[in-house]
Amino acid sequence: RNMGEVRNKLALQNIFTATYWPNALPRVKKTSIEYTLINNTLFLPIDQRLTAYNVEKIAESVLDLINN
């Protein structure tokens, strides 16, 4: 899946994911592991501020995107 598409669909559900190292893209080769990590890693907003219910809802949303 296209991570940009996944991020956008999650954002429509008020699940906002972080994007790390976008300024590194011009400096790395498209065939490098760095390029792959920047473009294909989904950083989910999971931390101590969330309840178990919140985490479950995020997980359900991600699973729905994967399975559909």
State pLDDT tens for residues 43-55: 999 999 999 999 9
- Give me the chain's average pLDDT, please: 92
What residue ranges do the domains of the chain occupy? 3-67
Q: Which pLDDT band holds residue 1 (cuts at 50, 70, 90)? A: low
Cα–Cα distance for residue pair 66/46, rounded to 1 Å: 18
* pTM for the model: 0.77
Would you call 18 helix, strand, or coil by DSSP? strand
Q: Which pLDDT band holds residue 3 (cuts at 50, 70, 90)? A: confident
